[in-house]
Amino acid sequence: MRAAITSAPIDAPALLREVAQPANGAAVLFLGTVREQNEGRAVTGIDYAAYERMAELELEKIVREACDQFGTEHVVAEHRIGHLDVGEASVAIAAAHPHRARAFEAARWVIEEVKIRLPVWKREEYVDGTREWVGNHAGTPSYEAADSRFPIPDSR
């Protein structure tokens, strides 16, 4: 397992190679990429910002939890920060397992947790030159919904 916040372009095939093992019959790779439009507005690029030290820890926690939950050590995740052009990958998750159901579920679980928990923000740039911080996409839990399910320790 491995997790990283990176400002370099994500090498998706390298992530696949990283999880490939002779014991695994299935590998799943998820790539999230910058779309050319969001909610009807033409997007020219996205700046991703992060609370970097925490994001790295939190992504490691997510990957660790996925490994424990789905029974594999072969999950890796990278989230890119900085400026991304349309089509570039902002996040990549690779998961491998002897059986395909678990590989699919692990990759899916990690991206859902990333959307809820990872302290990362994005500012979209539009064709007209304006820029705007945007919240969660439709389909991901809202801030309030996310809040209630965070694993907050009883006391620090």
Partner 1 sequence: MTVTALLFASYADAFGADSVVLDLRPGATIADAVDALRSRPGGSVLPSSPLVAVNLVYADARDTLEHGDEVAIIPPVAGG
Q: Which residues bind partner 1 (CB under 8 A)?
A: 32, 48-51, 53-55, 57, 79, 90-91, 100, 111, 114-123, 133-137, 140, 142-143, 146-147, 150-153, 155-156
**Partners of residue 80 on adjacent β-strands:** 6
E-state strands within the chain:
2-6, 26-33, 37-38, 41-50, 75-80, 82-85, 89-97, 120-126, 131-134
Question: Which residue type sits at 19?
Answer: V
For a second copy, the binding residues in 54-93 under the rule CB under 8 A are 86-87
Residue 107 binding: pick among partner 1, a second copy, none (C-beta 5-8 Å cut-off by kind): a second copy
In angstroms, rounded to a whole number, what is the distance separating the alpha carbons of residues 20 and 22?
Answer: 7
| Cβ at position 34, least distance to a second copy in Å | 8
Cβ atoms 74, 19 nearer than 8 A: yes
CA gap 40, 148 in Å, rounded? 30
DSSP bridge pairs for 122: 48, 134
Using the contact rule CB under 8 A, the part of the chain among 2-10, 16-24, 50-58, 69-77 near a second copy is 16-24
The minimum distance between CB 27 and partner 1, in angstroms, equals 13
Q: Is 16 in the site for a second copy (CB under 8 A)?
A: yes
Site residues (CB under 8 A) for a second copy?
Answer: 12-13, 16, 20-37, 86-87, 98-101, 103-104, 107-108, 111, 137, 139
